[in-house]
Amino acid sequence: MADSVVLDTVDLQLLGLLQNDARTTYRDLAAQVGVAPSTCLDRVTRLRRSGVILGHRLQLDPAKLGRGLQALLLVQVRPHRRELVGPFVERIRALSEALTVFHLTGPDDYLVHVAVADMADLQRLVLDEFTARREVARVETRLIFQQWECGPLLPPSPSAQSE
């Protein structure tokens, strides 16, 4: 189920194009890939059903929404036990400031990517939602100067694997 899927050249071209603009029409996709629009629909539907395509997400500008400051919070949760970390993650995910939560190996158990209005807002968030919680042993705050999304995600070069 979590195994990789066999993708041919057409699938890869479609994914590449759709990663640039997920709203490209099947008609345009067809023209660029060299197959019929109905074939594109078939392929994309299959990619969707096989779980390669998880969804179409809107990319927003946090600054335009009044969240001009972003930061990464490195968090130690002690003790690091299921009974504590489950509710911790759910609580953090529910914060309107949280964008992504990572559960990591290494000295910090979680990394939380947040978008806030300003420094005062960040301070409030850290003090009220993180260090105020008993299971949070330590929070390290790193501000984000700038961030870049990288090129289209593609399979490793030695090419595709088993279904």
- The footprint of its own copies (CB under 8 A) covers 2-5, 7, 15, 18-19, 21-23, 50-68, 72, 89, 92-96, 98-106, 108, 111, 115-117, 121, 140, 142-151, 153-157, 160-161
Calculate Rg over the CA atoms of the chain.
20
Q: How many angstroms separate the CA atoms of 112 and 97, rounded?
A: 10
Of DNA, its own copies, none, which one does residue 101 interact with (CB within 5 to 8 Å by kind)? its own copies
**Nearer Cβ to its own copies (9/147):** 147
Of its own copies, DNA, none, which one does residue 59 interact with (CB within 5 to 8 Å by kind)? its own copies
Helix (H) or strand (E) holding 97: none
Structure tokens at 99: 């964008």
Of DNA, its own copies, none, which one does residue 26 interact with (CB within 5 to 8 Å by kind)? DNA
Q: How many angstroms separate the CA atoms of 95 and 116, rounded?
A: 11
Structure tokens at 75: 């968090």
88 binds DNA (CB under 7 A): no
**Nearer Cβ to its own copies (134/156):** 156
CB 57 within 8 A of CB 99: no
